């Protein structure tokens, strides 16, 4: 019945997806009723209004998050997704907030992470109600607005609402994620060398978000004379060309500004991007500039964490990954923020101690953010039920897996990430030209309707 309902309502399901994706829901300055800015607030209003128009019960929890529910009873099964997105960045083939459809794919920031999957779960619930399917337990869709930053939405929501008995988040890939690495952000501070007679770095900045591989980084260098500036610029241009680094070098009197263009990607998969900050460091560390040894060290940092002395791995979740996501020069010091996804057998205290002991005493390492790891027994009823649903829709005989991503599965008890990226599809979250196949979106509506029903009837 659900499959028939999807076919009959295909057009409106697609048009509402496009409408949600056209809302630029990047976190912004708080507004009345919207602690995370006008964009996330509008996205939540749109979803709740749509659900209400189909007769579902809705609630806006003070603008921090909201929910839509169907069914009766105190206990409930939760599906938790998020409506906020990371900044779009530059270089898109199609405008990132126009939600244009090309080659049967919708192109937009948030298409797969996570507004598209969130919309699929809403239509799943609408379909269950419309077709008269009555779950034994209540099903609640929870929509957060701060997942890409600090998770304050979930902290606030669950101070005011009871937690579910189990659930999933559609914010990863099929078949299922049973383990998530620990997450930590290390802040590394180094005093700027103001006494150096070498060319002086007067400004430096790179990256937009900790959970993105930085696509841009820029530094301005005072070379003390026009002649020295010309020589410095010539050397940097040659170094960039030889190293195949996309760099723009501009001269203004005795100052040279070097801007490096990398390629964004999700911080949990840093190898799929090109880190503009480390590439800029490689250029700066090759010459005689202030803090030159620091730049050489930064330029050698890779995605394994070896350059910080924190590389490790385990059997359950694999190797540690590290992403130098943001950096700047302010108040006489350099600040580097490294987003680390570490194996579940490593503690955050070990991580911090290993980094500090490996680096020079002149480098100060502190912890600014930490999310514990997640592990759900692969033989549990939750995992078994969802894997049965997966196997009913896919021919690929895949096993549950682990990830370096941090999903809302950590926000509720007895939860995993289930979809929405189909097997064999490229991972485009946080990347330029993020898109989602329309047929995958519609298929997820059917899959999630089945998953919600089975969990509500069996757990």
**What is the reported pLDDT for 397?**
87
Give the active site residue among 24, 84, 427, 434.
Answer: 84
pLDDT in tens, 114-140: 999 999 999 999 999 999 999 999 999
Q: Which of 371, 387, 414 is at the close of a domain? A: 371
**pLDDT over threshold 90, residue 410:** yes
pLDDT in tens, 256-306: 999 999 999 989 999 999 999 999 999 999 878 999 999 999 999 999 999
Per the structure block, which two tokens stand in for 125?
């619930």
CATH number of domain containing 69: 3.40.630.10
**What is the reported pLDDT for 287?**
74
Contacts of 40 (CB under 8 A, 6+ apart): 25, 26, 27, 28, 34, 83, 84, 145, 146
Angle, CA of 190, 209 and 39, to the nearest 5°: 145
Q: Which of 356, 371, 386 is at the close of a domain? A: 371
166 and 306, same domain (yes or no): no
**What is the reported pLDDT for 360?**
85
- Number of separate domains in the chain: 2
Q: Which of 329, 346, 371 is at the close of a domain? A: 371
123 and 266, same domain (yes or no): no
What is the C-alpha separation between 302 and 338, in angstroms, rounded?
Answer: 11
Question: Would you call 439 a catalytic residue per the annotation?
Answer: no
353 and 444, same domain (yes or no): no
User: Confidence class of residue 102 from pLDDT cuts 50, 70 and 90?
Assistant: very high
164 and 70, same domain (yes or no): yes
Instruction: Please identify which residue in the block is written with the tokens 């549990």.
Output: 380
57 and 137, same domain (yes or no): yes
174 and 197, same domain (yes or no): no
**pLDDT over threshold 90, residue 389:** yes
Rg, Å, the chain Cα set? 24
358 and 214, same domain (yes or no): yes
Per the structure block, which two tokens stand in for 14?
């697609």
Mean pLDDT of 354-375: 93
Helices (H), 69-209: 115-130, 152-160
Angle, CA of 43, 47 and 52, to the nearest 5°: 145
102 and 191, same domain (yes or no): no
pLDDT in tens, 78-90: 999 999 999 998 9
Instruction: Quote the percentage of the chain above a pLDDT of 90.
Output: 92
* Secondary structure (DSSP) of 192-218: --TT-SSBEEEEEEE-S-TTB---EEE
What is the C-alpha separation between 48 and 68, in angstroms, rounded?
Answer: 7
219 and 235, same domain (yes or no): yes
Give the structural domain span for 225: 183-371
Residue 224 zone, left/alpha/beta (φ > 0; ψ -120 to 50; rest): left
What is the C-alpha separation between 83 and 99, in angstroms, rounded?
Answer: 15
pLDDT in tens, 186-233: 999 999 987 667 899 999 999 998 989 999 999 999 999 999 999 999
350 and 362, same domain (yes or no): yes
Phi, psi of 124 (to 5 degrees): -60, -45
Assign 9 to helix, strand or coil.
coil
36 and 109, same domain (yes or no): yes
User: Confidence class of residue 244 from pLDDT cuts 50, 70 and 90?
Assistant: very high
pLDDT in tens, 422-432: 999 999 999 99
Mean pLDDT of 431-439: 97
Q: At what angle do helices 292-299 and 276-285 cross, to 10 degrees?
A: 140
93 and 134, same domain (yes or no): yes
What is the C-alpha separation between 456 and 389, in angstroms, rounded?
Answer: 13
Cα–Cα nearest to 274, from 305, 255, 302, 251: 302
CATH number of domain containing 206: 3.30.70.360
Give the active site residue among 113, 114, 146, 147.
Answer: 147
Mean pLDDT of 136-160: 97
Question: Would you call 84 a catalytic residue per the annotation?
Answer: yes
**What is the reported pLDDT for 286?**
85
């Amino acid at each position: 019945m659900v499959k028939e309902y999807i076919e009959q309502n295909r057009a409106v399901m697609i048009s509402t997806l496009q409408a949600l994706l056209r809302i630029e829901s990047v976190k912004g300055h708080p507004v009345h009723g919207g602690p995370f800015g006008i964009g996330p607030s509008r996205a939540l209003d749109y979803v709740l209004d749509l659900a209400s128009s189909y007769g579902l019960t809705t609630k806006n929890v003070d603008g921090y998050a909201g929910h839509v529910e169907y069914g009766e009873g105190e206990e409930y099964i939760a599906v938790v997704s998020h409506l906020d997105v990371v900044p779009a960045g530059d270089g898109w083939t199609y405008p990132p907030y126009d939600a244009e459809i090309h080659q049967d794919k919708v192109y937009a920031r948030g298409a797969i992470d996570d507004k598209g999957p969130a919309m699929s779960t809403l239509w799943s619930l609408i379909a269950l109600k419309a077709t008269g399917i009555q779950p034994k337990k209540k099903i609640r869709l929870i929509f957060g607005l701060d997942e890409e930053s600090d998770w304050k939405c979930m902290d606030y929501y669950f101070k005011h609402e009871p937690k579910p008995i189990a659930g999933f988040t559609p914010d990863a890939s099929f078949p299922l994620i049973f383990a998530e690495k620990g997450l930590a952000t290390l802040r590394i501070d180094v005093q700027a060398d103001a006494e150096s007679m070498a060319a002086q770095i007067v400004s430096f900045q790179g990256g937009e978000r900790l959970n993105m591989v930085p696509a841009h980084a820029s530094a301005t260098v005072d070379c003390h004379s026009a002649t020295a500036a010309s020589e410095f610029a010539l050397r940097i241009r040659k170094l960039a060309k030889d190293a195949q680094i996309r760099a723009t070098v501009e001269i203004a009197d005795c100052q040279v500004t070097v801007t490096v263009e990398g390629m964004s990607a999700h911080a949990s998969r840093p190898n799929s991007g090109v880190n503009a900050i480390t590439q800029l460091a490689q250029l700066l560390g090759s010459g005689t500039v202030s803090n030159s040894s620091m730049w050489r060290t930064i330029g050698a940092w890779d995605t394994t964490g070896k350059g910080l002395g924190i590389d490790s791995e385990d059997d359950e979740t694999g190797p540690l990954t590290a992403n130098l996501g943001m950096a700047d020069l302010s108040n006489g010091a350099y600040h580097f923020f490294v987003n680390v996804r570490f194996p579940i057998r490593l503690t955050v205290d070990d991580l911090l101690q290993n980094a500090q002991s490996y680096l020079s005493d002149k480098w100060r390492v502190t912890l600014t953010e930490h999310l514990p790891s997640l592990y759900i027994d692969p033989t549990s009823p939750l995992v078994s039920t969802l894997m049965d649903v997966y196997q009913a829709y896919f021919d690929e005989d895949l096993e549950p897996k682990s990830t370096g991503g941090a999903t809302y599965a950590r926000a509720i008890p007895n939860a995993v990430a289930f979809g929405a990226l189909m097997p064999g599809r490229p991972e485009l979250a946080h990347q330029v030209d993020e898109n989602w196949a329309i047929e995958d979106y519609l298929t997820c509506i059917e899959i999630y309707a089945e998953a919600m029903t089975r969990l509500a009837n069996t757990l």
